[in-house]
Structure 1
């Protein structure tokens, strides 16, 4: 049985992107100053092995876009931070959620987290359950998250909860509209955390938090923090 996180984690989606350029050090720093307890980004690995934070994983002009995996760190735009630079600027006293969209980047990301961060407070996410399951066999110290939608669960909510528990996956991340108190309870009963993403308006954040989820992702840090405060 998982005890709900109180207060729930407030993940600043790509930093305080409603006020600063997304996925930049100023956005991450501002998010923490505004009271976010977690940061969210996407992690990629450059051609020379540096873990960096960017949403799309491609850089360059419109007709000359290149995957970050094909670009050395020194040739990336100046606003793209490395994970090591995030730790240097912000420390490690926060939860960190990273979408690792390229499965090949998993091991370098874990190595960078171990070198400068807190593996036990790092949540690595992917939309493929087989991929996340394989990751569990590669690293036991980081947290793993199954990012999906209820409509994609061929095994149903109860079945997915049991599967994640059996495979040692720490959390499931669903769109805020998918969550109900019953669904949260089904995951908590087997020891899996419940995360909700894309909660942007005050009403959507309040509705999501009322289900008892353990974390909420949003672009508006001030709204997230205020909503958690309203929980008491």
Structure 2
């Protein structure tokens, strides 16, 4: 996710409420503390959105990971945050004449050649940009849970249906996964609404901080409203929890991106249901200490 959370208010004026259980997010610990979600995997310790980051989160003992999904020129879904390959791969070296190196301008085979680990550290040299299929297999192997972000959906018409197809093929739309192991989120209201329309049983999240009076509209199609920790207050979280949606449970909030002990304690004090973090071990330690 990214701090630019554009809220399309006008598109929502005719809409109203959807929700998630505020206690379900605590299933990892069996306590009333917020759950901890490893942002792009344990991305403070391994290159973001790679299988290494997923494995690092698993090694640290975290069930929930978060990722970003985009689409290649030939229609393959890949796990990467930026719409350009430049920041986290060696694409400029391999393809120097293909600026601005957009994901959608490269085939899956071309992206599979890129080194997505060296930028982070020599020990991760040779890490690859995983396809969504590869990523789901690794999360399944680790018995982890996933907050999947559909990134830049306006660039990739139909990506919602394609994402659901991959999830279905990998067994992630079975009732047990849908109930307990999967959230699909986006900054795009249209994208979240589309996922909800296609599969109303899936838990969905809108990324942003709508006005309190707008929350009933978002709750029609989003089980969660997942806001930046810098934008929320005790009153805001309470207002959100006061709404009930189609699943008959209160709206939830996973707040992001919290990487300090003080930030984790503040988020817990606001009553959020989960904390998305690059440093899950730091957040967990702070929450355990209270």
Helix, strand or coil for the counterpart of 2:227? strand
Q: Which residue of 2 aligns with 1:143?
A: 203
Q: Does 1:83 align with 2:136?
A: no
What is the aligned-residue RMSD (CA, Å)?
2.2
1:28 aligned to 43, 54, 57, which one? 54
- Measured after TM superposition, the shift of residue 66 of structure 1 is 2.8
| Counterpart-to-counterpart distance in 1, 2:40 and 2:263 | 19
1:25-63 Cα offsets, whole Å, 9 max, x none, are 111111121122211121012233322101113233176
Asked if structure 1 preserves the Cα contact closer than 8 Å seen for 2:262 and 2:286, the reply is no
Partners of 1:111 and 1:126 in 2: CA distance: 17
1:16 is aligned to 42
Report the counterpart of residue 172 of structure 2 in structure 1. 118
- Are 1:35 and 1:221, in contact at CA under 8 Å, matched by a contact in 2? no
Question: Which of 134, 140, 153 in structure 1 is aligned with 2:194?
Answer: 134
Mean CA deviation greater in 173-182 or 20-29: 173-182
Q: Is the 8 A contact 1:35 1:225 kept in 2?
A: no
Deviation string, structure 1 residues 137-192 (Cα, Å, up to 9, x no partner): 2222332211113xxx3xx21x2331223x13110011112222322222222121
Distance 2:65 2:279 in 1: 12
Gaps of 5+ in 2: 1-18, 27-32, 86-90, 116-127, 244-249
Question: Partner of 1:223 in structure 2?
Answer: 282
Aligned length: 224
The answer on whether the counterparts of 2:49 and 2:67 sit within 8 Å (CA) in structure 1 is: yes
Deviation at 1:3, TM superposition (A): 3.8
Distance 1:216 1:89, change over 3 A: same
Would the alpha carbon gap of residues 101 and 86 (structure 1) be closer, same or farther in structure 2, given more than 3 Å must change?
A: closer
Name the residue aligned to 2:267.
Answer: 208
* Secondary structure of 1:39's aligned partner: strand
Query: 1:170 and 2:223 equivalent?
Result: yes
Answer yes or no: is the 8 Å Cα contact 1:34–1:222 preserved in 2: yes
Contact 2:81-2:151 within 8 A present in 1 as well: no
* Higher relative contact order, chain-length normalized (CA < 8 Å, sep 6+): 2
For structure 1, which segment, 25-34 or 1-10, has the greater mean C-alpha deviation from structure 2 after superposition? Answer: 1-10
Q: Larger helix proportion, structure 1 or 2?
A: 1
Once the two structures are TM-superposed, the CA of residue 10 in structure 1 deviates from its matched residue by 1.3
Query: Does the residue aligned with 2:68 lie in a helix, a strand or coil?
Result: strand
Q: Aligned partners of 1:230 and 1:45: how far apart in 2?
A: 41
Distance 1:63 1:200 in 2: 37
